[in-house]
Amino acid sequence: MERAIGVIDSGVGGLTVANELMRQLPKESFIYLGDTKRCPYGPRTKEEVQQFTWEMVDFLLHKQIKMLVIACNTATAYTLKDLQSKLDIPVIGVIQPGARTAIQSTYNQHVGIIGTEGTIKSGAYPEALQQINNEINVTAVACPEFTPLVERGINKGKEAEEVVRRSLKPLQADPEIDTLILGCTHYPLLADTIQSVIGDNISIISSSQETAREVSTILDVHGLLYKGKQNPKHRFYTTGDLKTFVELSNRIFDESVNELSAVQIGKATIEKA
Ligand code: DGL
């Protein structure tokens, strides 16, 4: 059977990346795993995120994936280098592609980043941006309330607007920001509300398009692009409640998913943070 591309996230956020991957790579098969049961990863320790991410990766390695996409900024920040050095398949995260897109977008080198506490604390975005351009001014803000909101299926309306307005206040520290990176794969689901709060003068960047472009290039370079004639097969797994996961994935996907199931990985009974 043709080997699939594995995509992992702490929950439903990575579906925004999977959606773009399927759009840009329509012949490829994908296996998605969202660790919804232990979401959010943002407030967790580095060690926990590393352990949970490895558990997801082990699950996908048993399914013989040919490439791994870490569609979670928090997991990318804490595990990318380790996974790249230990796995013998190509591994890509979402932080470097996001940083590159922001550099293309900004005209005045004032960039805002919003993400989970873990991602912001790791300093991975400023590092990725400044590796490309030392002159970039970065204002980074953690938005711990966003992911739980999205996992509950709320992305617009009064509650979403209030949470977004309150959370983004610290960005006012730099009134010159012209580009805002959504440094968490859950946040594109709140993009309309975020844009209405920050106004149309600030460009919103999510890393999914650039990540998908990079996956396409890496597959090509490694001779891993699917060359057969069979239709792709997409399998999605969640460690949490299947009904909520199906509802949210139906909202995001136009593509048909062939299989959607709930699975247990690692110590399935680990409590939420
Ligand atoms: N969607 C994930 C990210 O991109 C994590 C959100 C969370 O689990 O806190 O960081």
pLDDT in tens, the chain (273 residues): 689 999 999 998 999 999 999 999 999 999 999 999 999 999 999 999 999 999 999 999 999 999 999 999 999 999 999 999 999 999 999 999 999 999 999 999 999 999 999 999 999 999 999 999 999 999 999 999 999 999 888 989 999 999 999 999 999 999 999 999 999 999 999 999 999 999 999 999 999 999 999 999 999 999 999 999 999 999 999 999 888 888 888 877 766 677 778 888 876 433 333
C-alpha 76 to ligand 1 mean position (Å): 10
Q: Measured from the CB, is residue 42 less than 6 Å from ligand 1?
A: yes
> Dihedral through CA 238, CA 24, CA 128, CA 140, nearest 10?
-60
Secondary structure of 142-191 in the HEC alphabet?
Answer: ECCCHHHHHHCCCCCCHHHHHHHHHHHHHHHHCCCCCEEEEECCCHHHHH
- pTM of this structure: 0.92
Tell me whether residue 72 is one of the annotated catalytic residues: yes
- Say what the pLDDT of residue 218 is: 97
* Burial class of residue 263, CB neighbours in 10 A (0-12, 13-18, 19+): middle
C-alpha 42 to ligand 1 mean position (Å): 6
Determine which one of 31, 184, 219, 265 is catalytic.
184
